[in-house]
Structure 1
Amino acid sequence: MQQNKSITEFIFLGLTRDPMKQKMVFIFVLFFYTGTLVGNLLIIVTIKFSRTLGTPMYFFLFYLSFADTCFSTSITPRLIVDAISEKKVISYNECMMQVFALHLFGAMEVFVLMIMAFDRYVAICKPLHYMTIMRRQVCTILIIICWIFSFIHSTTQIALTLKLPFCGPNMIDHYCCDLQPLLKLACMDTYVINLQLVANSGAICVSGFVLLMISYFIILHSLRNHSAEGRRKALSTCTSHIFVVILFFGPTIFIYTRPPTTFFIDKMVAVFYTIATPFLNPLIYTLRNTEVKNAMKKLWSIKITSDIK
């Protein structure tokens, strides 16, 4: 990646500069990242090889887990290493790549969550037409569209970032590269670029959250016409989805929809959507989902039995 900036590397200030707290951050983040990898990879492998999880909901859950894994991997491993490093240095090119990956997989998660809400709407409100509307070809096209829009979004973000001239200082008051903390280091008036950031990332976050809340309100309102068992099952699914939506969109809206000001809690808020959400998603979608748990037990019991033989 070609660059004509005077700054060739950045230094992260991280979550804390206290040596004892840095060790706690290392343990905390390592635990969460390990849980994220194990949980999401279990879901990916189970859906891939299970014959009972062939419905569109699990097709989309596969890509949500994939996006979670990549999203977390674009940030967390460096944070783990930096937590035990004296100098938290990242090159200019690596920083730009991190911005691109962060927004590519973050946007992918947003769009997949929206498709999952649409899938639940069709399943609950249009059950007789569900298999016609959500046939395999349609699901594949929807995922391709998600990837295209995610790529467009991340390309826009990296284009905005590459416009910024950096001439010092080079210390990023964060634990990862993102447009907001980089704006503070730019040797130019960043007001217009910040407006573009809000118009892009902020609009995606807010519109995605509003559309999801409206769709789930319609779904929950339509449940009054269902049987008690149908309401219970649909409520269980929708409740877990709503929890994920609030946990992910709340912090992102706080970060990406405001003027270029910095608050002391910004880094802690970012922890929720960069580290906590990818960790909690597989727990929410498996612990509250009997079909996934049964498929996991069956798949891994077959695997263990075959290994013994």
Structure 2
Amino acid sequence: MNSHPQPQALRALSGVGLAFLLAACAPNEQQDALQSTLDELQSREAIRTLFTDYGRSLDERDFTSFGQLFTSDAEYMAGGATGLAQGPEAIATLLEQLITKNATGANLHTYANEKITFSSRDSATALSRGAFYVQDTDGQPQLLMLATYRDELRRENGQWKFMRREVQGDLPGPANEVRAGLALPDIAGDWIIASSVGGATPVTVYCTLEQDAAVLGGSCTPEMANAEASTLRGSIGLKLAVWGYDVVFNGNPGRVDFRATTLEADKLEGSLSLSGMVAPFTAQRRGTE
């Protein structure tokens, strides 16, 4: 009598074993997927809470709690001439100066339209819009600024914090200098902007900048066949001008943002962000090239 299993029996046993193995593994895989989904949902809610804590701590003048919303290596880039602050204490000090300068009474921060994208379990980026209201001389609410927030976020010891926050004043823009009676650089006019994409492909853009105090408007048109002008919005301070506009590349929506850190009468220099790709640019006022 042959006590060894026949090949057919081995195949049958293998099939049964594989079926049991798959059945045993499926619940764990489902649990992992559910846990991953739950973690992302909890993280999204924690980041939304971070946004509201940002506004609430500023409105309550609780700058100690405000500083704790940032990582130890955090950066904060504000519009206008306020520039860059690094580290929680420096960021809290900067915002304390700005808030007490612009709002002597009650004030209110609001935010909306957040888009949160996770790059890993403990890191994310976010884009949101916000508004800052203060009291006027009659005690009535006055809209001081509409802003765009671009954030890099990191989870540390279970807490989501700002690793980098960039605030771009959209309307009416960073008016601190104007309110203080300081004269801003005049960059209104027609500009020829030269840059490159990926360090290789040359890009030429013709921009007409309109300036009303700290607010920039106008349009930009790339040098290419059948290109149409795009309406821009931005702001300017003593040492920084930012403007941007939405575009469509090959049927896909995109975004172009300029950040000029050299503001001279006939020359601008800075960086150009084209749908996330960043490159330096130089601009010459038309008629002076």
| TM-score bracket for this pair, using the shorter chain length | under 0.3
**TM-score, structure 2 length as denominator?**
0.22
**TM-score, structure 1 length as denominator?**
0.21
